Structure 1
Amino acid sequence: MQMAFGLRCVFLLCGLSGLLTGVWSKPAVHPVENSCPKGWTQLDCHCYIYEDDIRTFADAESVCNILGGNMVSIHSDLENALVVEMLRANDNDDEAWIGLSDAIEDDTFLWTDGSDNEYTNFDTDQSEPDNTGPCVQIQENDGTWEDVECSTELPYICIRDIKH
């Protein structure tokens, strides 16, 4: 009889302990999945941020790397329009770095993130790219691209994948 009473007490204590643990435990806080950090703009599965502190091409890429991405690579008219609108929203500048250059091999433009270069928007009316420099900037007024010297100091736009 004492053994049965002892077992009932153990089960009762375990049950109460489980109930109390559930009542007093904090709910788990999970970060919002599939979203961009504060201050970043989302388009599809990428996050974008405009950085208005002017830097050379290499310095801008380094900052974007620190932020978990690269300078923006642009692969469509929609993405190009988003970058232009981000630049226009910060009326201080008329152009910004994008992550495209032909610094490794002349006339072979590569994105700093290594993605395919299947889209370009060079200002062909102005004979761009015209080998003024190996690095590429985007123009606020019409969204076209121009090649310039990499030592030019410009604002820039970073891109990073959404963290899953």
Structure 2
Amino acid sequence: MKMAHTLCWIFLLCIHCRLWTGAWSKGTIHAKDKSCPQGWTRLNCRCFIYQDNQRAFTDAESVCNILGGNLASFHNFVEGFSIVGLLFDSGYNGTENIWIGLHDAIEDDDFIWTDGSQVDLAFLQSNFNFQPDGNGDCVFFSGLGLTDGSCTDEFGYVCSRDLLHS
């Protein structure tokens, strides 16, 4: 039953990504019409890249910083499911865990994005099945949505950078 639920969730993610990504990614950029670096995917005014090399959370954030961004944040349904679509387009099979930039390592139950943007926990809980269990401080995509785990675990990760500030 759990596997069927997971497969159904992944299928729905794929459908939503295909429906939303095309129209949304054709947004207009007013900051000198910048483009994403080679290998990155543009979603409106942001660029995203999936890195499949396994790293701990802080190491993954450091690599994203070197690349000019942070571990990925997302703030609406379209961004979140577009990131999932990017993962699948990059060869992700839905069974690996993938770091994003959400954590509560500074203070328990006070989640923050590594890029400093606002966190909407109600949105993450209702749309991405995020139910922090307190067993870890760093958040990742799993086959069932978002979950928290040990920041020292090594997973692939998604970086994002803002085109307007790059």
TM-score (norm 1): 0.72
Structure 2: gaps spanning 5 or more residues: 1-31
Identity level (%) = 46
Q: Is the 8 A contact 1:72 1:157 kept in 2?
A: yes
Deviation at 1:55, TM superposition (A): 0.2
Cα-Cα RMSD: 2.4
Answer yes or no: is 1:121 the counterpart of 2:124.
Answer: yes
- Name the residue aligned to 1:149: 150
More helix by share: 2
Q: Which amino acid in the other structure matches residue 50 of structure 2?
A: Y
Aligned to 1:158: 159
Opposite residue 154 of structure 2, the aligned amino acid is E
Is the 8 Å Cα contact of residues 71 and 115 (structure 2) preserved in structure 1?
Answer: yes
Q: Secondary structure at the match of 2:141?
A: strand
Deviation at residue 161 of structure 1 after TM alignment: 1.1
Matched with 1:103 is: 105
- What is aligned with 1:65? 65
Letter in 1 for 2:136: G
TM-score, normalised on structure 2? 0.71
- Match of 1:84? 84
Q: Distance in 1 between the 2:49 and 2:85 partners? A: 12
* Aligned residue in 1 for 2:139: 136
Task: Give the Cα separation in 2 of the matches to 1:103 and 1:46.
Answer: 25
Distance 1:45 1:106, change over 3 A: same
Residues 93-136 of structure 1, C-alpha deviations (whole Å, 9 max, x = no match): 52200000000000000000101112542489988210110000
Deviations 1:21-76 (A, max 9, x none): xxxxxxxxxxx832111111111110000001110000000000000000001101
Give the number of the structure whose alpha-carbon radius of gyration is greater. 1
The residue matched to 1:105 in structure 2 has which SS? coil
- The aligned counterpart of 1:45 is 45
Q: Confirm or deny: 8 A CA contact 2:69 2:161 kept in the other structure.
A: yes
Aligned 8 A contact 1:123 1:129 in 2: no
Is contact 1:122-1:146 (8 Å) kept? no
Aligned structure 1 segments of 4 or more residues deviating by more than 6 angstroms? 123-127
SS in 2 for 1:121: helix
- The answer for the alignment partner of 1:55 in structure 2 is 55
* Mapped partners of 1:158, 1:125: distance in 2: 19
